[in-house]
Amino acid sequence: MKRWYGKLLGFVAGWLLLRHPLGGLIGLILGHAFDEDWFRLSRDDPYRVLGLDRDASDAEIDQAYRRLISQYHPDKMAGAAPELRRQAETKARDINAAYDRIRTLRKR
């Protein structure tokens, strides 16, 4: 179990807010959901942006990054419509941010 404090805080808050044992149970369930990152957005996971699992090797990460950045690089969309170019720039920015985040996490 990575985190536990969400469950404790959820239980106490639910009990105090609803003043009933059922409130504590509801708070405990919500605390568990936050501890397990059920509400985390998919864009927060850099591995998902690159289409990889967390146990991917460094070579697989590099290969996925190169493949995606060559596909979505804005310079490759020079003759495309402005809307497509903006989408490619956004996607390339997300890919670069995810790659940098993974590199930072793996250096620790």
pLDDT digits (tens, 9 = 90+) for 61-86: 999 999 999 998 888 877 888 888 88
> What is the per-residue DSSP string for the chain?
----HHHHHHHHHHHHHH-SHHHHHHHHHHHHHHHTTTT--GGG-HHHHHT--TT--HHHHHHHHHHHHHHH-GGGGTTS-HHHHHHHHHHHHHHHHHHHHHHHHHH-
pTM: 0.59
Q: Which fold has domain 42-107?
A: Helix Hairpins (1.10.287)
Delimiting residues of CATH 1.10.287.110 domain(s) in the chain: 42-107
pLDDT, one tens digit per residue, over 32-67 is 887 777 776 655 788 888 989 888 999 999 999 999
